[in-house]
A and B are shown apart, each in its own frame.
Chain A
Amino acid sequence: MTPAEIRAAVIDILETIAPDEDLSNLDDAKEFRDQMELDSMDFLDIVMELRKRYRVQVPEEDYENLVSMASTVSYLEPKMAETPAE
């Protein structure tokens, strides 16, 4: 997957977790927490959905990389480089 495809995949996950959020104006550099009503349960769901959909494992000590879209995509890039786009 390219970084753009990874970003689209994360958006898709966010839409599943928080269907009422408008993600069209999401600022990639800003923390999710400051832009959306996400709690710790939702962050667990991002991790679990990544595992369920793409078999990507995010160990607990790496959760801090998932704070914003930019950091999430750059963290996932090496892990998902070989993952085929859907």
Chain B
Amino acid sequence: MSGLAAGIRAAYYDQKVCVLERHYTIGGLNSFYRLRGRNYDVGLHAVTNFTPPGTRKGPFARLLRQLRMKWDDFGLSPQLMSSISFPGTELLFDNNIDLLRSEVAREFPAQIDNFDRLIDSLVDYDDLEQKHFEVSTRERLEQLIPDPLLIEMILCPIMWYGNPRERDMDWGQFCIMFRSLFLEGFARPFDGVRLILKKLVRKFRDLGGELKLRTGVSKIKVQNGRAIGVVLDSGEELGGENILSSAGAIETFKLCESNDDVHAHTTGQLSFVEAISTLDKFPREFGHDKTIVFFNDSEKFHWERPTEDFCDVRTGVVCTPNNYCYDEKDGDLPDGIMRVTALADYERWRNVDEQQYQSEKQKWFDRVQASATRFVPDYRQHVIDNDMFTPHTIHRFTWHENGAVYGATRKWLDGTTSIKNLFLCGTDQGFVGIIGSIVSGISMANQHLLARS
């Protein structure tokens, strides 16, 4: 998506652009697959950064202006209500920060002033700089909020939706995510993320851009410190003035065949499984009316790659795509759907044969659901169809090393590399999520393809 957004910007200002996509469909992880007549979304739980029509500030408003699109083009419907659920303590939130504030005041009365101070201390999107970006979030939070449980409860949703690092988080990334989740909000297009993808592709092609699907890049050719073109999987070569890569930082450096592996240690370790169930009832019919539930089964939130087993189900995210405030004319989705995400170890999932892969999938599907139903009504008797995607699936869609959903553990905020006309955009530039990746593509195209042209 970041590549397509960058392509739209460059093509709009009359540059000749070709977008190369390895997969047969676009969108990277924000994609879907079809199984037994049903579409399964891979990426989208929610579009974060949601702001209502007429809002002039924030990434979504900026994106619309920059791509010359209308608010309605995204077809977004806001969430109903979500929660952060720990044993015995729950914080509800929606797209208005006042609800979360009142919940913090109710559950943690001594901390509400500190919580307000936290909100005031968030760095604005535009003021993010590399040197402040990498400060420890845990240290900052401990200074601001002397209540460990509240810290863990704030970190749980924020890490789940965009932290590539284990255990701690870059302060800059925390600020981005806090804004996008709590000060802006969640929404979803009724027709899924496919609608947004279609609009972006149409826009890009209308402006004269060329999109090649099933066209993987196997090498970026570098001569005298400049990228001169790419070699495709087919062996064909394409030349270009500038190359913008959304393949991920480490993945891009590997394509350049530089022997420089100084960034190898920044490869992300965090990957997921997701148990998707189709139900014979709508979730609200058995009393589940929340959009997203972030759960954790103890007072300490463990955000790390499982080392003992295929998955770690102590924490997870339950997403119910039915529970958005859809337009009356659309009604509800055709089926009730519950999606539960848990942490998973890419290596274990990769190193099993097909038979064991299938049996582990079944086993962990049951465990993930059993864990989640401690925090949401038990829906298991209503399941009529199911599937689970694994780190293996994520790797297939994103090509990220380790199936790391949020990419490398450090970010390249300015998008530059040691090769002067090769730039990064997308997850490893620093913004995650759908709006985030589009904004990443826009800003990298502005800085490196347009402002310097």
A41 at interface by CB-CB < 8 Å: yes
CB–CB B56/A20 < 8 A: yes
CB–CB B451/A44 < 8 A: yes
A37 at interface by CB-CB < 8 Å: yes
Binds A, one of B42-50, B62-70, B105-113, B392-400: B62-70
Q: Among the listed A20, A40, A41, A42, which residue makes an inter-chain contact with B54, where contact means beta carbons less than 8 Å apart? A: A20
CB–CB A41/B442 < 8 A: yes
- Specify the main secondary structure of chain A where it touches its partner: helix
Q: Indicate with 1 or 0, residue by residue over B435-453, a CB within 8 angstroms of chain A CB atoms.
A: 0000000110010001100
Residues of B within 8 A of A17 (CB): 65
B13 at interface by CB-CB < 8 Å: yes
Chain B residues within 8 Å of chain A by Cβ, number: 17
Closest CB-CB distance, B112 to chain A, in whole Å? 30
CB–CB A41/B13 < 8 A: no
In angstroms, Cα B343 to Cα A8, docked, is 56
Q: Once A and B bind, how many residue pairs between them come within 8 Å at the CB atom?
A: 33
Residues of B within 8 A of A18 (CB): 56, 65
Residues of B within 8 A of A48 (CB): 13, 450
Residues of B within 8 A of A30 (CB): none
Chain A residues within 8 Å of chain B by Cβ, number: 17
Q: Indicate with 1 or 0, residue by residue over A20-35, a CB within 8 angstroms of chain B CB atoms.
A: 1100000000000000
Residue numbers of A with Cβ under 8 A of B are: 16-21, 37, 39-42, 44-45, 48, 51-52, 60
Q: Which 7 pairs, one residue from A and one from B, show the smallest C-beta to C-beta distance?
A: A37-B56, A48-B13, A44-B446, A41-B446, A44-B451, A41-B66, A52-B13
A-B contact pairs, 14 of them (CB 8 A): A17-B65, A18-B56, A18-B65, A19-B65, A19-B70, A21-B56, A37-B56, A41-B66, A41-B442, A41-B443, A41-B446, A42-B65, A51-B13, A52-B14
Residue numbers of B with Cβ under 8 A of A are: 13-14, 54, 56-57, 61-62, 65-66, 68, 70, 126, 442-443, 446, 450-451
